[in-house]
Structure 1
């Protein structure tokens, strides 16, 4: 099921840890009254809900409270472009906000990435978080070394899942099949590889600190990768400085007695490998499975955030049986009539106003590209909502004519025999998952197929 729903709802599933919200995906939200301005939000993730929250203009702290507002209707499990068209949405609403996120993968573009043992981080995270489309992934974790390409928060999330003690994972909402596979995992070393250097890592200090303190693990990094980094810190902003200082401390400073004892007893290790780019995934003798990764050694041109990685003639080969590509996600076009920039994989916009498409707005990763954390998405979504409200107030968005809003959409779905998942239906799924989790000491035990979710929602 694709991640574009008539919001009158939001598809909230995060690629980070402890993901749980609305794996039915696809949603549309709108105002219910047909007398005021009618707004449709396509996408039920954080961007969609934050946009709806700001438009409703109440003091709201959770997505649940937003969805339960009398002025918000939620239509889950509805595929825009298949069950309902963009043109029908635009006829029904004064404004349509697209916030369906980035559901595509960026490929490495190197030979061998089709081999068994190579996965995208998006699919790997979807597997352990219970995304139905990733249920059959069944990654082979029988190797010693895993390489993660990318040094953002998702990369660190994946590294933690691979290395965390099973007893620790049992207390999370990770799926039962993933927990079973990780309990049998032989992965004991994870390398987190990036094209640039320590001053350009894309993770946040919170994620790095959790990695540093992960029980049963120890850091292993190359001291030479940090030459000159301490001297360069005086010219960087405070958040970057704090992050880099933690990296330096972890990589170079002799640990205290207690930390040294912890590291001595650790059976698993992790480390950043800087200034490396993938050239080829090398196969084992059978020609079907991953055996190693051939990397180019880069040099940096420029400094700070703008430094560019330039390939040199130097190469190295890292033996590994698992390669996870966390080099980013990309948005996909939803309809030929909606402007789309394929090079940037975004909808062209000015502060959320879609270029040359009055009444059409965009928020979230579809607006900015796949960057930032939840707070970034929240602020970007609020900016889009402000743009929409400003256009209503200035007359740039004509709301003088009456629009049918969700009444029209419901009628079309009824005619087509499509029964959407309401928010109260979603709450039934939430309650069943929570009860199942409570029985085994977890926050939730997830339903892993759309069929199971629909059966529960309609009970």
Structure 2
């Protein structure tokens, strides 16, 4: 059945992070194509962005370290998209609890899921679940002021291990190593500043099981480690090893070449005397987290390159004196209610963004984009290509889309109100945004982020702000 000829195409986008907002933007830019199809009226697209949190922007707000203002500037571009008249933001609405797939199919002609990947991928080694062993995603959520995580974080360890050599590992290591006062110019929440100011950390050890040419971080992220006047970055000459596979990677990628050069330069320089130290170790595979009632150490196996850029064990082990371990070995998406899910990859099965059921057939009217589609790889900008492909699939499916039975934009609001969902809007986000900027201005900072969900809701909905205990 084709969509009704006298109304706009109604699309729900579940997840208001970069991937979802890019998809909405591309849909609005497709209006000329939609209007020319003779299926739609003068206003050919109407989009509702559903977000589980009271505020939009997902990874930008709750996954990027506070000392990365350059990346956070992407928010300005996303904000301009949210201001488009065809797009409506509905925050604090949890898909699978507050609304179901059946609800969305009743109110929309198509649904795009862009829920990202926010869970930590497991690392199955002995001791990984000891007290004092943490997932990087949980720590990132804490220091970024996510409303659904505890306000306190245990920072009693003097020496800490970070497992992984991607950008998230570097973010975690940098935030752990930096003195809290160096973060005061950022939007860091007050509770996070207090926690980091009380931290006992003096040494942070980052471990990668392969060589420098196989590291996954970007050159800019790597160089930023050395910007703190309080943190000495140490690289060990015995870890700078290359094989034929490494040399191929170096010669074929400018990014790899820059990373390797930076690490080589650091390995041969004389160490300084900054009070805190951040150690980068390569060719060390974590094999066991040591301890009984809590973390007391980390055991690694010394590795060697196998000629193809891979690594094999040497049977030589080393025990490191650390009191906390953070695993940063990748993010994983979460299962979405009423949709198929690949638990090993943490993604929804799809064909060019079209959701596929267990039988391999397309689930009508359902699409995916971003990390829930392709997994947590690539930079934020890469989600634009994902969104373009997914929206292209949706547009090509227009003649066969099932028609929503309650497409009136007011109908979904009536449903949320009947269910007593305290949803937020773009206007509400603007109120919260102004409030956070004002808090920062009062203390000579750009912004101070509001952490409490209840306080975020009260400000966004122009309600009485609850008194904090």
TM-score range, shorter chain: 0.7 to 0.9
**1:313–1:34 distance in 2 versus 1, CA, 3 Å:** farther
**1:233–1:281 distance in 2 versus 1, CA, 3 Å:** closer
Q: Which residue number corresponds to residue 20 of structure 1?
A: none
Q: Which residue number corresponds to residue 132 of structure 1?
A: 147
Q: Which residue number corresponds to residue 439 of structure 2?
A: 436
TM-score of the pair, normalised by structure 1: 0.83
1:106 to partner: Cα distance: 1.5
Confirm or deny that 1:202 pairs with 2:182: no
1:34 to partner: Cα distance: 8.1
Task: State the Cα deviation string for residues 343-369 of structure 1 (Å, max 9, x = none).
Answer: 211111122122221321111110111
Checking the alignment, whether the CA contact within 8 Å between 1:145 and 1:322 is kept in structure 2 is yes
Q: Which residue number corresponds to residue 418 of structure 1?
A: 421
Write the distance in 1 (CA, Å) between the matches of 2:228 and 2:6: 53
Aligned-partner SS, 1:139: coil
Q: Which residue number corresponds to residue 19 of structure 1?
A: none
Write the distance in 2 (CA, Å) between the matches of 1:35 and 1:367: 29
Write the distance in 2 (CA, Å) between the matches of 1:174 and 1:61: 19
1:265 to partner: Cα distance: 3.5
Checking the alignment, whether the CA contact within 8 Å between 1:104 and 1:329 is kept in structure 2 is yes
Superposition map of 1:350-361 within 5 A? 350-355=351-356, 356-361=362-367
**1:51–1:233 distance in 2 versus 1, CA, 3 Å:** closer
1:98 to partner: Cα distance: 0.5
1:227 to partner: Cα distance: 2.8
Checking the alignment, whether the CA contact within 8 Å between 1:196 and 1:274 is kept in structure 2 is yes
Checking the alignment, whether the CA contact within 8 Å between 2:211 and 2:239 is kept in structure 1 is yes
Unaligned runs of 5+ in 1: 1-32, 255-259
Of 241, 246, 256, 1:240 maps to 256
Task: State the Cα deviation string for residues 395-417 of structure 1 (Å, max 9, x = none).
Answer: 3x437777606333212112212
1:136 to partner: Cα distance: 3.4
Checking the alignment, whether the CA contact within 8 Å between 2:235 and 2:263 is kept in structure 1 is no
Write the distance in 1 (CA, Å) between the matches of 2:6 and 2:143: 42
RMSD: 2.4
**1:91–1:233 distance in 2 versus 1, CA, 3 Å:** closer
Superposition map of 1:106-117 within 5 A? 106-117=121-132
Q: Which residue number corresponds to residue 15 of structure 1?
A: none
Unaligned runs of 5+ in 2: 32-74, 357-361, 463-469
How many pairs are equivalent?
A: 408
Write the distance in 1 (CA, Å) between the matches of 2:121 and 2:457: 31
Between 1:311-320 and 1:367-376, the stretch displaced more is 311-320
Checking the alignment, whether the CA contact within 8 Å between 1:193 and 1:272 is kept in structure 2 is yes
**1:135–1:169 distance in 2 versus 1, CA, 3 Å:** same
Checking the alignment, whether the CA contact within 8 Å between 1:195 and 1:277 is kept in structure 2 is yes
Of 259, 278, 290, 2:286 maps to 278
Q: Which residue number corresponds to residue 34 of structure 2?
A: none
Checking the alignment, whether the CA contact within 8 Å between 2:110 and 2:401 is kept in structure 1 is no
Write the distance in 1 (CA, Å) between the matches of 2:170 and 2:145: 19
Confirm or deny that 1:446 pairs with 2:446: no
